């Protein structure tokens, strides 16, 4: 962690501070303690990779759709935002913020997967991830593939392999593009 996080009572207020800089002041002890615990959690970096490593790795892809904010330790790709201090990744639209699965791994997957480097492809992929989560399904990413897991799908899952443009529907493996895969999934889970 490397940061000094304090909860101090001074002049009738509970003050939460990081390295001597006040983050928040509360009059209610319970609210102050909850905020103190949240600040500790947000700054307790259980990431096995350092921010510098992540930043350099992401820059090495040279993707112009990526925005890195070193001050706040965030990475943004279209509507996807990764927060290093929490290790979480969110789909952010005008009126919605949905936590997605994958953390830094999802960012890296997008950057190294063939066919996902273009802005419209990234957005289409992220929309699928959001809809999957919103409909109570699940997904996992690995080795150039996304697997959607839901009881409404044949054999409980369906997979798209970006490297070979193949859709595994559980009962058959077919050639197809990502948009065909997305349509199949959305028709099944919505």
Q: Are residues 69 and 107 in the same domain?
A: yes
Core vs surface per residue 75-103: b (16+ CB within 10 A) or e? bebbbbbbbbebeebbbeeeeeebebebb
pLDDT tens digit string along 105-163?
Answer: 999 999 999 888 788 899 999 999 999 999 999 999 988 999 999 988 878 899 999 99
Instruction: Please give the tally of structural domains in the chain.
Output: 2
Q: Are residues 127 and 166 in the same domain?
A: yes
Indicate whether 55 belongs to any domain: no
Indicate whether 98 belongs to any domain: yes
Indicate whether 57 belongs to any domain: no
Q: Are residues 159 and 79 in the same domain?
A: yes
Indicate whether 54 belongs to any domain: no
pLDDT tens digit string along 2-28?
Answer: 577 888 888 888 888 777 777 778 888
Long-range CB pairs of 31-40 (<8 Å, 24+ gap) are: 32/7, 33/7, 36/5, 36/7, 39/5, 40/5
Q: Are residues 92 and 174 in the same domain?
A: yes
Indicate whether 158 belongs to any domain: yes
136: containing domain? 62-189
DSSP three-state, residue 89: strand
Indicate whether 13 belongs to any domain: yes
Q: Are residues 101 and 134 in the same domain?
A: yes
Considering the entire predicted model, what is its pTM?
0.72
User: Of 172, 133, 139, which Cα lies nearest the Cα of 155?
Assistant: 172
């Amino acid at each position: 962690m490397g940061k000094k996080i304090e909860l101090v009572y001074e002049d009738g207020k509970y003050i939460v501070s990081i390295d001597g800089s006040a983050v928040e002041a509360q009059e209610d002890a319970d609210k102050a303690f909850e905020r103190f615990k949240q600040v500790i959690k947000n700054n307790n970096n259980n990431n096995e990779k350092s921010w510098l490593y992540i930043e350099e790795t992401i820059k090495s892809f040279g993707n112009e759709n990526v925005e890195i904010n070193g001050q706040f330790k965030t990475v943004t790709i279209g509507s996807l935002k990764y927060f290093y201090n929490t290790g979480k990744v969110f789909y952010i639209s005008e009126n919605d913020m949905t936590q997605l699965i994958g953390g830094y791994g999802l960012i890296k997957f997008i950057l190294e997967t063939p066919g996902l480097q273009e802005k419209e492809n990234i957005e289409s992929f992220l929309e699928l991830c959001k809809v999957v989560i919103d409909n109570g399904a699940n997904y996992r990413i690995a080795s150039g593939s996304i697997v959607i897991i839901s009881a409404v799908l044949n054999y409980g899952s369906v997979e798209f392999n970006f490297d070979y443009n193949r859709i595994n529907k559980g009962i058959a493996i077919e050639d197809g593009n990502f948009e065909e895969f997305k349509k199949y999934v959305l028709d099944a889970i919505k």
